[in-house]
Amino acid sequence: MSAFARKLQAVAQTRKTTTVSTGASLPVIAALVGIAVFLLVGSLSSSIFAQQTVAGLAQGAVFGSLALALVLIYRATEVINFAQGEMAMAMTYVGYQLTIWGLSYWLAFALTLVIAFVFGVAVQLIVIRPVQHRSVIAVVIVTVGLFILTDGVVAWIWGADLKFMAAPFGNQVYHVGSVAFARQDLGVLLVSILSVILLWLLFQFTKIGLAMRAAALRPAAASLVGIRVNWMLAIGWGLASVLGAVAGLMTEPTQFLQPTMMQAILIYAFAAAVLGGLESPAGAVIGGLLLGVFLNLTGQYVGFVTSELRLPAAFVVLLVVLVVKPNGLLGRKQVRRV
Amino acid sequence: MRALLQMRLLVIAATVAVIVVLPSMLDGYHQGLAARVAIYFIAILGLNILTGYTGQISIGHGAFMAIGGYTTAILSHDHHMSLLLTLPIALVISFGVGLLVGLPALRLSGVYLALATFAFAVSVPQFALKFSKFTGGSNGLQADESYSHLKLYVVSWACAGISFVLAFLLLRGRIGRAFRATRDSPVAAASSGVSLPVYKTFAFGVSAAYAGVAGSLFVIATNGFAQPQEFGVTLSLQLLIGAAVAGLGSLWGVLAGAAFIGLLPTVSASAPLIGSAHGQDVVFGLIVILIMLLLPNGVVGVLARLARMRQARD
């Protein structure tokens, strides 16, 4: 390891000394293991339970991707991007347009991610950076403005009616015993998890990932060792936008394209991010998966929770977590000096 | 100081005069539009008490408007109550709900509160869909009385005037000081004997009561028709934007904020190039971002800067 990288590592780790506890505590791990066992046993004993669990995991993976996008930005600047879902929606339309122009699905997918990265960086540079150091309210309102603007631009260009895109995974169904798995669910799960893993590798094993972590955790110290903190923040927005684009493209097969397609998913992503701990990337993914499965299973087995109550159910999850365990499952406990 | 007071009284007198004279110069449609500005005025006033004075963000005020609006619609539809009588009931009910929401909000601040209230705003219309026996579901609910444009205008602006005076009285005294202290330094406020939980929850209740009344009027303004879609997330976002345009922590810009969200869609719709609904969103979003970038403190900030410039010249 070069001297520079060691310095970065040191900067990235200094924050740990100021937090009381880090990462997952024992009861949380025990609870997660318990839930996993419960889901496994349930899936083995009932085929409907198994199908709902897998479908829930697929949806949860999408929530998790978008939640991770929120967490990336929150960790770096303590800002919640309310436009994250709408940016993802806009990028999905870009992907749609590319397939209309004759590109194959996966080529369009890859190109969309590149465009999404540039878009995210541009948004940060143009509208976020000037308000970054002002109050939480100012930044929230700018992202709200971005929400409305993106919505309007997309509806202006493509219209507000439903659009259909070539299905990436087809409609096959696999049968394992008496359980039917939709190929699409498995594909969505696979792509989402893969993108999360790639991102994790980027953050853990590349110099730029290290620099980004340092810039997020200790901006002042990071800039002293020569990291261009502002650029790292912009790249963070770019990566968040890429994750959002993945979430959008993976939502499309089940919801089709329309300007409102990501609005409900944004709420689920909020709930997932808070459930996992707003500071914790791993928590966002786990929170997303848990929430997806939870919503699907309650929808299946609790008669009262009809489709209208899916969003309020997510709200209840969010509220309970915020009141009972505000740092989420994997978040660090924050200590603030008065 | 006396000059400032005189100027304020002058501004208020001029504004009141314009509001009184205005309906005789407008046709019915524009009277309705002006009444909407009054309704947004009340709601933004309430939001400003919460966000501007006690520093608690809410992106959920559309939900309180929904509660007030459905109170009016249900009372009128099921119990044939006069619309005017439903207003105080809507006020009391939304005050109560505001207190209830304010309790968990005590543990939250900053973005966490923004997230929770946003999710609240999304959830409430869903409840209206779920309990369609009471609310009519997605078909909505029709009150059995409807106002003429002029009557709507008079009632809305009368309520707006009362709301403003009450807010002014509330905020200039002991309670207002406690609110501001809570916002600026919770620790200092608590150590001077201001009970944070009491004042924060109370602010939520008052703020929600304002939004509830606005919601009632909102339903009356749509010909007595309450529908879940009318109270969607967009409404909550618009209110927050209106409050930001007005300038948080001051009552003097609220009229500008209300006119901004009430009139901009109509104004931009009549412009030739952007005439569609989507074009309006583009203009709206763009102007919001520009205002936040260029005028950090909203209209009030501009006024304050002008006043300072004048002082410097004198």
From first to last of its 314 residues, what are the pLDDT tens digits of chain B? 677 778 878 888 888 888 888 888 888 888 888 999 999 999 999 999 999 899 888 998 999 999 999 999 999 988 888 888 899 999 999 999 999 998 888 888 788 888 889 989 988 988 888 888 888 887 888 888 888 888 899 999 999 999 999 999 999 889 999 999 988 888 888 888 888 889 999 999 999 999 999 999 999 998 888 888 888 888 998 899 898 888 887 888 888 889 988 888 777 777 666 556 677 788 888 888 988 888 877 777 777 777 777 777 76
Nearest to A248 by CA among A66, A68, A58, A104: A66
Q: Return all residues near A132 (Cβ < 8 A) that are at least 6 apart.
A: A77, A79, A139, A233
CATH number for B81: 1.10.3470
Q: Is B213 helix (H, G, I), strand (E, B) or coil?
A: helix
Close Cβ partners of B307 (under 8 Å, ≥ 6 residues apart):
none
Nearest to B115 among A80, A147, A263 (CB): A80
Average pLDDT over residues A177-201: 86
| Contact present, A266 and A85 (Cβ < 8 Å) | yes
Give the nearest partner residue to B108 out of A78, A141, A322, using CB atoms: A322
Across the strands, what pairs with A117? none
Taken as a whole, chain B contains a residue count of 314
Which of A69, A51, A14, A3 lies closest to A272, judged by CA? A69
Is pLDDT at A1 greater than 60 in this prediction?
Answer: no
Residue in B108, B120, B292 nearest the CB of A138:
B292
> Phi first, then psi: what are they for A180, rounded to 5°?
-105, 125
Contact residues on chain A for B115, CB-CB shorter than 8 A? 80, 270, 274, 318, 322
CB contact under 8 A, A323 and B107: yes
Most confident of A84-98, A223-237, A304-318: A84-98
How far A259 CA sits from the closest chain B CA (Å)? 11
- In chain B, the number of structural domains is 1
Examine the predicted complex and report whether its ipTM is higher than 0.90.
no
Averaged pLDDT, A296-312: 84
- What does chain A come to in residues? 338
Chain B nearest-CA residue for A77: B111
Cβ B129 vs Cβ A308: under 8 Å: yes
- If pLDDT is split at 50, 70 and 90, which confidence band does A99 have? very high
What pLDDT does A327 receive? 82
For residue B155, give how far its alpha carbon lies from the nearest alpha carbon of chain A (Å): 31
B62 within 8 A of B207, measured Cβ to Cβ: no
Domain range for B34 is 2-313
Contact across the interface for A338 and B114, Cβ inside 8 Å: no
Look at A308 and B129 and tell me if their CB atoms are within 8 Å.
Answer: yes
- Chain B residues with CB-CB distance to A151 below 8 A: 281, 285
Closest alpha carbon within chain A to B248: A137
Q: Do B296 and A270 touch (CB under 8 A)?
A: no
Using alpha carbons, select from B89, B95, B140, B98 the residue that is nearest to residue B120.
Answer: B98
Set of chain A residues whose Cβ sits within 8 Å of the Cβ of B119: 267, 270-271, 311, 314-315, 318-319
Confidence of residue A162 (pLDDT cuts 50, 70, 90): confident
Chain B residues lying within 8 Å of A80, measured CB to CB:
111, 114-115
Q: What is the pLDDT of residue B62?
A: 93
Nearest to B122 among A127, A267, A306 (CB): A267
DSSP string, A34-48: HHHHHHHHHHHH-HH
Residue of B113, B122, B124 for testing the chain A interface, max A β-carbons within 10 Å: B122
How many other C-beta atoms are found inside a 10 Å radius of the C-beta of residue A190?
14
Contact assessment for residue B273 and residue B158, using Cβ atoms and an 8 Å cutoff: no
CA dist B268 and B254 (Å) reads 21
* Amino acid identity at B267: V
Neighboring chain B residues of A311 at a CB cutoff of 8 Å: 119, 122-123, 126
C-alpha to C-alpha distance for A62 and A267, rounded to whole angstroms: 12
Chain B residues with CB-CB distance to A under 8 A?
51, 57, 59, 104, 107-108, 110-112, 114-116, 118-120, 122-123, 126-127, 129-130, 187, 233-234, 237, 240-241, 244, 248, 276-286, 288-289, 292-293, 296
Task: Identify the band that residue A334 occupies on the pLDDT scale cut at 50, 70 and 90.
Answer: low
Nearest 5°: phi and psi at B4?
-60, -45
A150 and B285 within 8 Å at the Cβ level: the answer is: yes
The model's pTM? 0.87
Report the amino acid identity of residue B200.
K
Residue A219, pLDDT > 80, answer: yes
- Eight-class DSSP state of A334: P
Token pair recorded at residue A187 = 């594909």
- A75-89 burial, b at 16+ Cβ within 10 Å, e below that, comes to bbbebbbbbbbbbbb
Please report the pLDDT score of residue B130 as a whole number.
84
Which chain A residues are Cβ-neighbours of B284 within 8 angstroms? Answer: 148-149, 152
Amino acid at A325: K
What is the reported pLDDT for A10? 64
